[in-house]
Structure 1
Amino acid sequence: MKLISHVGRVAAARVTAALLVIGAMPAWAVPDVLERPSAPSAKAAGAVMLGITQAGARLVAVGERGIVLYSDDAGAHWRQAAVPVSVSLVGARFLNQKDGWAVGHSGVLLRTGDGGKSWTKHLDGTAAARLVVTAVSEGRLPPGADPARAQADAERLVAEGPSKPFFDIHFFDDRNGLLIGAFGLALATSDGGATWRAALERFDNPKAKHLYAIAADGDACVIAGEQGAVFYSSDRGRSFRALATPYEGTYFGAIAAGPRTVVFGMRGNVYWSETPGGAWRKSDIATTQSLTAGLRLQDGSLLLTDETGRLFRSTDGGRSFQPQAGATGAPLTGAVQSADGTLFVSGVRGVTKIALPSPQGQ
C-alpha cells in the first residue's frame, strides 16, 4: 500500500474558505452541490487546487467546485476527472495506483477505483451526522462528555445539514482508516471504507476543536488542529492522547519522521519534538506568514510552504528552515514529490512544477 509521506495539506486559505461556507451558503445550496456533478471546463487546469497527491506515478489534484485533475506525463497535460459533486475538495489519498479517497466541503467523502479518473460519493455531511447520533445513543462519547449535552449537539448536527467539511483522511492499511474534519468530527473504518462509524471517543477534545491534518509514520500518527491542538496515537489511530504545545494558535499540518514530529501553522509558527510527549522546541524560520503545506522529501529533508508561495527547507530535522528557490508568488495549498525528485505544488493558480535544488545549494 502506498501512502504519501506526509503532508499537512490543509492550507490556511482553504480552511478559511471551508468554514466560510458553513455560514454563507443558503440551506438549499448544499444539497444542490452535493447532487450536481462537477462541470467539465477547458480552464480546469487553472482552477484553484486545494490538494495534490499521487496514484502510483499519476499526479492527482483536487480543488474548487469538485474539480479533480490527473496527469500521466509529469504535469505536462492534465485531464479532468468525472466527479458526482460540485463542492470544493480539499485533499486526497491513495492506497495504491487505483484505490483512493477525496474529502471536502459539506462532509463529502469520495472514492475512486481507477486511479482518480472517476469518483463516486461514499458519504456526505448528512450521513456523517447520523453516525454521530448513533455513537451518542450507544454511549460512545469523548472522555468526560456530558451525555445530555452530547445528545443535543448530535441532534443539532443533524438539523444543520451537511455543512461541516472533512479535511483529511488516512489509511494505515487496506482496511483501517481515519477521517477527520471541522468541530472535532472524526470517523473510522475497519473494513476498507465499506462502512464508517463515529470515533469521537478516541479524542479528548471537549471544545470540539477543528482537526485539520493527519501525519503518519508506521503505526504512529499525529493530528494537528486549531487552538494548539495536537493529538498522538501509537496504535494506528485506535486511541489518541492530547499533547500540550507552547503555541495556542492553529496548526494546519504536521510531518511525522520516525519518533520526531514537526507541527506548523499560523504566523510562521513551527515546533518540533524529538519524542511523542517530549519537550517542544520552536523552529527557526524566516517567515511570519501562515505555513500551508509540508512534507518529508526523498532525501530526508523537510519542506514547508507559506501562504505567499514561498518554500522553506530543513536539513536538520526541523530545527531550522532555509528559504528555497522556486517561490510561486501565490498561495500554495499542497505539495508532493514525484519519483524523479520533482516537486509539484497545488495552489490558487492550479498546479506548478518546481525543480528543487540539492540541499547543498541552499
Structure 2
Amino acid sequence: MFPTLNRNRRVAAFWLACGLTPLAMAAAEPAKNGVDLLARPAVIRQHADTSVMLAVASAGARLVAVGERGIILLSDDQGKSWRQTPAPVSVALTAVHFPDAQHGWAVGHGGVVLATTDGGATWRKQLDGLQAAQIELASARQQAPQNGEAGVSRLRDAERMVTEGADKPLLDVRFSDSQHGLVVGAYGMALATADGGATWTTLRGQIDNPRGHHLYRIYVEGGHTYLAGEQGALYRAADGSANFQEIKTPYAGSYFGMVTGRHGELMLFGLRGNAFRSTDGGANWNKVDTGLPITLTAGQRLASGDIVLADETGRVLKSRDDGATFAPVPLSQRAAFTGVAQSADGSLVLSGTRGMVRIAAENVLGVKK
C-alpha cells in the first residue's frame, strides 16, 4: 500500500507544498522521538500566536487554532487577540474541527487525536498512531482470509505500521455531531468513531484506495462525504455509508481542499494553483483560473455564500459567482497561509507560518470583482 514514493519524501512533500520550512518540518516530525513527544505536554510559550499555525476553526463564537509543537490557541474577540491553552502532546497539530461550541477534535503527527468538551479550554488524548496501527492490524487479520491477495497485501502493510510505530500524521478531522466523526491522514489512514472517540474503527478496507494515497481533507456537503488527497485522489460516500468510491478528476497532483458553491457546485484546489469546478456532482470538471501557479492551501465558503481561497504566498482570492472566477483580496499582512475560518463578526481569520492573521469584515465583504 505504500509503494508509490519513499515514505519520508511523501510526507515531506505535503509540508513543502503547504509552504512550511524545513525547520518547521523538523519541529513537527515525530519519527525520532514520537512516543516521547506524544507523552510530553506542549510548552506554554510567549508570543505563541506568532508560531507556525496549521489550522483554525470556529467553536461557536470562539476561534480555535492549532499548530507546531502541540500549540493550541483560543480567541474570544473575533481573532484580535489569542491565548495559548495547555495540550497533552508536543507534536504538530494539523487540523481542528468543532461540530458545536463545546465539542471539538484536533489531529496531528504521530497519529494523534485530541478531544475537548469545553470549547477548547482543556484537551485529552483519545488516540495515537500506536493504537491506530493495532486497530488496523486487528481489522486486516480478520478480513484477510476473504480478500485474497488484496487481503494479504493489506495485512503486510498493517504489520509494517505496527513495526514503524507512530510516524504517520493525521491530516484532517470532521465530526457531524458530538458522537460521529472521521479522521484521515498519510498513506490512506482513515478511522471513524460513533461514540465521541471512545473507540475507533479503521475504514481502510472501505475506501477505494489500494495505493494508499495520502488523504488531506474531509468535506461534507449535500448528503455526501468527500475525501481529497494526493495524485488526483477524490473519494465519495453517500450519507450514512462508510464505503467510499473513487471519483475521477482531471488532475494528477495533490488536492489540499474542497469547497462548494451556493447551488452545490464542487470545487477542488491544491498544488501549483490548480483548481477545478464541477456543476454536475463530479461527473465533469472545468479548470478555474486562479491567476498564478501557486499552491492553494485553504478554502472557505462564507456566510454570504461567497468563496475564498488562500495560498502559500499569502494571497487570498474571493469568488462571488460560486467559484467560476476569482479576484484577489487586498491585504496589509501576508504569510504562507494554511487555514481559514470566518469569525462571528464576518472577519476572515487565517492560520499561517507567521501565526494568525485577521482580515476585517469590511475588507472582505467590500471587495469587488
Normalised to the residue count of structure 1, the TM-score between the two structures is 0.91
Q: Which residue of 2 aligns with 1:214?
A: 218
Identity in percent? 43
1:267 to 269, 272, 275: 272
8 A Cα contact 1:226 1:251, kept in partner? yes
1:97 to 97, 101, 107: 101
Q: Which residue of 1 aligns with 2:337?
A: 332
Unaligned runs of 5+ in 1: 1-8
8 A Cα contact 2:222 2:264, kept in partner? no
Q: Helix, strand or coil: the match of 2:260?
A: strand
Q: Which residue of 2 aligns with 1:358?
A: 365
Partners of 2:260 and 2:145 in 1: CA distance: 28
Relative contact order, higher structure (CA 8 A, sep 6+): 1
Amino acid at match of 1:226: E
What are the superposed Cα offsets for residues 292-339 of structure 1, whole Å, 9 maximum, x if unpaired?
A: 100101111110011100011111211221111126332000000112
Normalised to the residue count of structure 2, the TM-score between the two structures is 0.89
Q: Which residue of 2 aligns with 1:203?
A: 207
Q: Which residue of 2 aligns with 1:296?
A: 301
Amino acid at match of 1:252: F
8 A Cα contact 2:24 2:52, kept in partner? no
Amino acid at match of 1:12: A
Partners of 1:323 and 1:141 in 2: CA distance: 54
Q: Helix, strand or coil: the match of 1:169?
A: strand
Q: Which residue of 2 aligns with 1:83?
A: 87
**Alignment root-mean-square deviation, CA:** 2.6
**Are residues 247 and 141 of structure 1, via their aligned partners in 2, closer, same or farther at CA, if it must alter by over 3 Å?**
farther
Q: Helix, strand or coil: the match of 1:334?
A: strand
Unaligned runs of 5+ in 2: 1-13
Whether 2:303 is the aligned partner of 1:309: answer no
8 A Cα contact 1:142 1:201, kept in partner? no
| Alignment of structure 1 residues 181-192 onto 2, 5 Å | 181-192=185-196
Whether 2:123 is the aligned partner of 1:119: answer yes
Report runs of 4+ in structure 1 exceeding 4 Å deviation.
Answer: 14-26, 140-145
Q: Helix, strand or coil: the match of 2:345?
A: coil
**Are residues 161 and 79 of structure 1, via their aligned partners in 2, closer, same or farther at CA, if it must alter by over 3 Å?**
same
Partners of 2:265 and 2:31 in 1: CA distance: 44
Amino acid at match of 1:291: L
Cα displacement (A) at 1:122? 0.6
Range with bigger deviation, 302-311 or 324-333: 324-333
Q: Helix, strand or coil: the match of 1:39?
A: coil
Partners of 1:39 and 1:171 in 2: CA distance: 28
Q: Helix, strand or coil: the match of 2:130?
A: helix
What are the superposed Cα offsets for residues 147-180 of structure 1, whole Å, 9 maximum, x if unpaired?
A: 2211111000000000000011111233221110
Q: Helix, strand or coil: the match of 1:192?
A: coil
Range with bigger deviation, 337-346 or 16-25: 16-25
Cα displacement (A) at 1:128? 0.5
Partners of 1:59 and 1:32 in 2: CA distance: 29
Cα displacement (A) at 1:242? 0.5
8 A Cα contact 2:28 2:68, kept in partner? no
Range with bigger deviation, 178-187 or 235-244: 235-244
Q: Which residue of 1 aligns with 2:166?
A: 162
